[in-house]
């Protein structure tokens, strides 16, 4: 009795599988332009780097202008140490000081 | 069906940064991937997600494609893994699915009586949603996609014995579910 029930269950299940195989899933709606959407997502995944760079560009520009303005607003300082003078490119000042005895 | 060598060329171009080459790979294989994923998706939106996730993973791992087997085989393995991951994620959500529809009569395909193929699919989908993800994966590949035990083992990375055991358990559970006895 139990075996018969099991046999019947297998037969029924195989019928369901056979029927389900006859009805392949409809993918037409998703398939349409699918590659376009995949490529868009791939590009989207890369975009933050470019987008971030573009978003940061005005900040870098403002920072550059500020630094340029700051450096121009202060006159160059002549160090008293002769070695520092030589390495910082102010030899002429050192030579002049030496000649004038200052 | 795509020529494997052409696929390998496209893969090489895509690795080199050619987006058009990758788009061509997607165009060639989208049908196979979507048909396979549709066995696991509950609706078109989920199918879209599974398909996109598969190709995004392919794109990310493209360099690991060695080319010693056809691109299609490698792609099928990724598809199966993406679907399996999705099944595991949604396992908790589907525990309370209604089984009312399972009372529908069983048809004999030779006579054409009973539920339509669509209804049979729906009934199976509902019953299969109550299986463990491993069992559902194996029974889908084995019974609905008509793959051999060896193929299923290759796709899942499991041993043939494990595949056979899973298929057997899935059948037993489905028989109970469709026969009216809930396994839990």
pLDDT in tens, chain B (184 residues): 445 578 999 999 999 999 999 999 999 999 999 999 999 998 999 999 999 999 999 999 999 998 888 999 999 999 999 999 999 988 766 555 555 545 455 555 555 555 677 788 888 888 898 899 999 999 999 999 999 999 999 999 999 999 999 999 999 999 988 875 544 4
- The ipTM (two decimal places) reads 0.79
Count of beta carbons in the 10 Å neighbourhood of residue B138: 30
Contacts of B121 in chain A (CB under 8 A): 19-20, 23, 25
Q: Rounded to whole angstroms, how far apart are CA atoms B36 and A87?
A: 72
B88, B90, B86, B77: which is closest to B33 by C-alpha? B77
Of A15, A21, A41, the CB nearest to B52: A41
Count of beta carbons in the 10 Å neighbourhood of residue B36: 25
Domain count within chain A: 1
- How many Å lie between the alpha carbon of A55 and the closest alpha carbon of chain B? 25
- A3 in reach of chain B (CB within 8 A): no
pLDDT > 70? residue A90:
no
Count of beta carbons in the 10 Å neighbourhood of residue A7: 10
pLDDT > 60? residue A68:
yes
Confidence tier at A101 by pLDDT (50, 70, 90): confident
Q: Counting beta carbons within 10 angstroms of the beta carbon of residue B105, is it exposed (0 to 12), middle (13 to 18) or buried (19 or more)?
A: exposed
- How many Å lie between the alpha carbon of B93 and the closest alpha carbon of chain A? 23
Contacts of A20 in chain B (CB under 8 A): 117, 120-121, 124, 144
Contacts of B176 in chain A (CB under 8 A): 9
Range of the domain at A22: 2-100
Of A17, A21, A25, the CB nearest to B38: A25
Give the chain B residue whose CA is nearest to the CA of A44: B56
- A17 in reach of chain B (CB within 8 A): yes
| Cβ distance of B19 and A27 shorter than 8 Å | no
- What residue ranges define each of the domains in chain B, with the CATH number in brackets? 1-90 (1.10.1740.10), 97-184 (1.10.10.10)
B144, B23, B29, B46: which is closest to A29 by C-alpha? B46
Of B19, B34, B107, the CB nearest to A27: B34
């Amino acid at each position: 009795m139990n075996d018969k029930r099991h046999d019947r269950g297998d037969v029924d299940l195989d019928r369901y599988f056979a029927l389900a195989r006859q009805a392949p899933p409809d993918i037409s709606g998703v398939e349409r332009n699918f590659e376009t959407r995949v490529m868009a997502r791939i590009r989207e995944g890369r975009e933050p780097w470019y987008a971030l760079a573009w978003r940061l560009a005005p900040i870098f520009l403002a920072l550059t202008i500020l630094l340029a303005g700051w450096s121009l607003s202060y006159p160059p300082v002549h160090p008293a140490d002769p070695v520092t003078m030589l390495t910082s490119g102010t030899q002429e000042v050192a030579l002049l000081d030496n000649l004038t005895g200052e | 069906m795509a020529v494997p060598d052409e696929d390998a060329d496209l893969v090489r171009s895509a690795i080199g940064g050619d987006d058009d080459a990758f788009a061509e790979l997607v165009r060639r294989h989208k049908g196979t991937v979507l048909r396979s994923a549709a066995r696991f998706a509950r609706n078109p939106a989920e199918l879209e997600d599974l398909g996109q996730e598969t190709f995004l993973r392919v794109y990310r791992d493209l360099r690991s494609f060695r080319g010693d087997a056809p691109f299609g085989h490698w792609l099928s393995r990724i598809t199966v893994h993406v679907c399996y991951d999705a099944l595991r994620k949604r396992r908790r959500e589907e525990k309370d699915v209604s089984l009312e529809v399972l009372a529908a009569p069983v048809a004999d395909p030779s006579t054409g009586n009973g539920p339509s193929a669509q209804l049979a699919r729906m009934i199976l989908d509902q019953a299969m949603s109550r299986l463990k993800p491993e069992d559902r994966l194996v029974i889908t590949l084995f019974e609905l996609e008509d793959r051999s035990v060896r193929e299923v083992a290759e796709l899942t990375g499991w041993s043939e014995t494990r595949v056979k055991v899973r298929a057997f358990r899935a059948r037993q559970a489905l028989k109970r579910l469709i026969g009216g006895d809930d396994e839990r």
